[in-house]
Amino acid sequence: MLETRNLDKSFGAVHVTRDVSFRLEKGERRVILGPNGAGKTTLFNLLAGELIPDSGAIMLAGEDVTSLPVASRARRGLSRSYQKNTLFDGLSVEENLGLAASIHTGFGTRLWGDSLSRPEVREIVEDVAAQVNLQPYLHARVSEVSYGVRRQLEVGVALATRPRVLLMDEPTSGVGPEMAGAFHALLAGLPRDLTILIIEHDMDLAFEVADSITVLNYGEVVFDGAPETARGSDLLKEIYLGSWEHA
Amino acid sequence: MFRHTPLRYIALALLAAGALFQAATAGYFGLEILIEILILAMLVLALDMVAGFGGMVSLCHGALMGVGAYAFATFGGILGLTPLVSLVGAIALTGATAWVIGAVCARSHGIYFIMATLAFGQMAYSYVFQTPFFGGDDGMGGIERLDLTALGIDLTDSRSFALFCLGVLGLVYLATVAVLRSGLGRSLTGVMHSEQRMRALGLTVWRVKADVFGLSGMIAGLAGALSAMHIMYISPGLLDWTVSGEALVVVILGGLGTLVGPMIGAVALVVLKHELSAITPYWHLVVGLLLIGVVMSRANGIFGWIEAQIGARLDKRLNDITRPQPTEEPRDA
Ligand SMILES: Nc1ncnc2c1ncn2[C@@H]1O[C@H](COP(=O)(O)OP(=O)(O)OP(=O)(O)O)[C@@H](O)[C@H]1O
Ligand SMILES: [Mg+2]
């Protein structure tokens, strides 16, 4: 569903992504682990098209999207959430989801009629609100809800484009352990055919949801395999205990 | 996205009542002032639509208005088309011009966007100024007003023309609100918040900006055609960048992103101009001081300030009235 081939990216002299290759099958849930500054977010930026790789290729559903702009990739079913909330603050939770849903349904560029009252848009908004537990907050403004709820909305907005591939950049960063746990439980409720790539800091949580694990260190893939194998890996322990601030 | 509040309805009603009263009672000079206000109000609605709701601060809206005026005069005076066809043509041509400007400038932001639009405006100005076809420095005269005698309306009469402009302004206001509330308008607001996110959701951001800029240009073109009909003579001065600057001053003075505020700003500016210029040639100084005061107060213009002062209280009062009262008031000892 999503594949990278020998991706490389440098910022000046800093080599942030080194020869990264991996492959996600349809419906696969892969977690990306790695210490701060390992190049995880940069990899997402390359996948989403916000950065263009120096070399290498990105395939989405068998199509080479390496040189496609961000919006075109999104329209082909790639959606992402951000590590730092990128929400529409003055709007309500419902309007945030509605904006995303109306782009997906094509009503976001119509001149006549309110996109948010379209049944197609309403249906997506209600579905997604149920998926990420946002029903109680639909009418609250983003600025009025807690940080944890905003993190959920951050993922909700990405889901409201009905993606085939969902990239989530540390969806539980900054929220307490209970909320992080609840969030991971909620992942189980997402459609099984949705391909998911998650950046996660917490190893134990990562093992809970992952079908497969990729570990990045200094921009390089140092591990790619099943969670069970990762758990016993000495290399991972070394990185985890060594440079991981989180430990 | 644009929302109507009770305070905005009240302000709109007051503006409409004031304009109707003026149109009914004023003499020739008063009617001229009213028409000037109504046309400026149209221009600033167009500007607020892009600047207040899309973050596109344009310094070419005066020039767009000039394009509308020249197009109208050319279609009628040189090509011999009827005023109605000329009007439609002028609106379409200005809209298309604005769409192209919007598309080209869509990737620039902040000061660069302002400069890019200014450059387009200046290009239009010098083109018209240098082209003998458009009368150069002398401008063009002999412009006809729309013929509505079939409806029993004689637009050569100042009072009728003022009422006509008021009606058009009302329609323009409704159209602006409709655009801002449409899917396109909502996306525009999203773009102003975060272009990056809207792109990541699959939106072609430059198209949204260009489309709304084009619609805004159509309104500016309409204002220009009305202005040409009003004076029945046009000169390149219409396209001068100071016209755009003045429109921007009015939007900021009135309240960016409120639609109602800029219209109040238009009233304030034109009235101040006429009242003060009779007393002192330094009337610009007073407007400048007023603008500095408004900007320094950190309120969103005159209307933004009013909204901050009484809008919240008014909303609460109305909520209390419409909500059923609790039978027993809980009291602390
Ligand atoms: N636009 C940029 N310009 C220059 N350097 C950058 C840029 N973006 C990221 N970097 C650098 O690239 C490296 C990797 O950053 P990245 O954000 O991808 O790490 P990360 O794995 O997501 O870290 P974290 O766990 O802290 O989110 C860092 O050293 C960072 O400073
Ligand atoms: Mg990161």
Identify the CATH number of the domain in which residue B294 sits. 1.10.3470
On the question of pLDDT at B330 being above 90, the answer is: no
Comparing CB atoms, the residue among A110, A115, A161 nearest residue B202 is: A161
Instruction: Give how many domains chain A has, as a whole number.
Output: 2
Q: Ligand 1 pocket, A2 CB below 6 A?
A: no
pLDDT at residue B286, rounded to an integer: 86
Q: Choose the final residue of a domain: A138, A162, A186.
A: A162
Q: Where are the alpha helices (DSSP H) in chain A?
A: 40-48, 70-75, 93-105, 119-131, 147-159, 177-187, 203-209, 227-232, 234-242
Which CATH number goes with the domain that contains A69?
A: 3.40.50.300
Q: Give pLDDT tens digits for B222-262.
A: 999 999 999 988 988 889 899 999 999 999 999 999 999 99
Verify whether ligand 1 is closer than 6 Å to residue A45 (CB atom): no
Q: Give, to the nearest 10 degrees, the angle between helix B205-231 and helix B158-181.
A: 180
How do residues B266-307 score in pLDDT, each as one tens digit?
999 999 988 888 888 888 888 888 889 888 888 899 999 998
Position in ligand 1 atom list of the atom nearest CA A12? 4
What are residue A9's DSSP bridge partners? A17
**Ligand 1 in reach of A102 Cβ (< 6 A):** no
Q: Do B182 and A79 touch (CB under 8 A)?
A: no
- Do A59 and A169 share a domain, yes or no? yes
Residues, CB within 5 angstroms of ligand 2 (ion): A 40-41, 83
Which of B166, B157, B125 is CA-nearest to residue B42? B166
The residue written with tokens 């921007």 in the block is B248
Three-state SS across chain B?
Answer: CCCCCHHHHHHHHHHHHHHHHHHHHCCHHHHHHHHHHHHHHHHHHHHHHHHHHHCCCCCCHHHHHHHHHHHHHHHHHHCCCCHHHHHHHHHHHHHHHHHHHHHHHCCCCHHHHHHHHHHHHHHHHHHHHHCHHHCHHHCECCCCCCCCHHHCCCCCCHHHHHHHHHHHHHHHHHHHHHHHHCHHHHHHHHHHHCHHHHHHCCCCHHHHHHHHHHHHHHHHHHHHHHHHHHHCCECHHHHCHHHHHHHHHHHHHHCCCCCHHHHHHHHHHHHHHHHHHHHCCCHHHHHHHHHHHHHHCCCCHHHHHHHHHHHHHHHHHHHHHHCCCCCCCCCCC
ipTM metric: 0.90
A32 and A64 within one domain: yes
Centre of ligand 2 to C-alpha A41, Å, is 4
Ligand nearest to the CA of A201: 1
d(CA A123, CA A98): 10
The structure tokens 């509605």 sit at A98
Indicate whether A59 and A171 sit together in one domain: yes
B175: Cβ–Cβ under 8 A, 6 or more apart, which residues? Answer: B219
A98 lines ligand 1 (CB under 6 A): no
* B117: Cβ contacts below 8 Å, ≥ 6 apart: B56, B57, B58, B59, B60, B101, B105, B244
Closest CA to B38 of B225, B180, B167: B167
What is the reported pLDDT for B333? Answer: 40
- CB within 8 Å of B27: residues ≥ 6 apart: none
Q: What percent of chain B has pLDDT over 70?
A: 95
Q: Tally the domains of chain B.
A: 1
Give the structural domain span for B78: 6-322
Largest CA distance in chain A: 60
Is residue A95 less than 8 Å (CB to CB) from chain B? yes
pLDDT tens figures, A92-102: 999 999 999 99
Q: Count Cβ atoms within 10 A of the Cβ of residue B291 and give its class: 0-12 exposed, 13-18 middle, 19 or more buried.
A: middle
Q: Is the pLDDT of residue A244 over 70?
A: no
Which two structure tokens, joined as six digits, stand for A14? 């800093």
Q: To which residue do tokens 């950049």 refer?
A: A169
pLDDT over threshold 50, residue A183: yes
Q: Give a yes or no: residue A191 inside a domain.
A: no
Which residue in the set B178, B179, B186 is minimally distant from A102, CB to CB?
B186
First and final C-alpha spacing in chain B: 45
Report the gap between the CA of B212 and the closest CA in chain A (Å): 9
Q: Which residues of B touch A (CB under 8 A)?
A: 1, 178-179, 181-184, 186-187, 189-190, 193-194, 196-205, 207-208, 211, 215
Q: Which two tokens stand for residue A193?
A: 């055919």
Domain match, A157 and A172 both? no
Domain shared by A62 and A110, yes or no = no
Query: What average pLDDT does the structure give for chain B?
Result: 91
What value, to the nearest 5°, has the Cα angle with vertex B240 and ends B238 and B245? 105
Q: Side chain identity at B70, as an amino acid letter? A: Y
Query: A221: domain range?
Result: 1-77+165-176+202-247
* pLDDT bucket at B144, cuts 50 / 70 / 90: confident
Report the residue among A7, A20, A41, A45 best suited for mutation to probe ligand 1: largest number of ligand atoms under 8 A from its CB: A41
Say if A108 falls within a structural domain: yes
Domain annotation covers residue B136:
yes
Which residue has the least CA distance to atom 16 on ligand 1? Answer: A39
Alpha-carbon distance A233 to nearest alpha carbon in chain B (angstroms): 36
The b/e string for B45-76 (b: 16+ C-beta within 10 A; e otherwise) is bbbbbbbbbbbbbbbbbbbbbbbbbbbbbbbb
The closest residue, in CA terms, to atom 22 on ligand 1 is A41
* A137 and A209 within one domain: no
Residue A93, domain member (yes or no): yes
What is the nearest CA distance from A2 to chain B, expressed in angstroms?
17
Q: How many Cβ atoms from other residues are within 10 Å of residue A235's Cβ?
A: 12
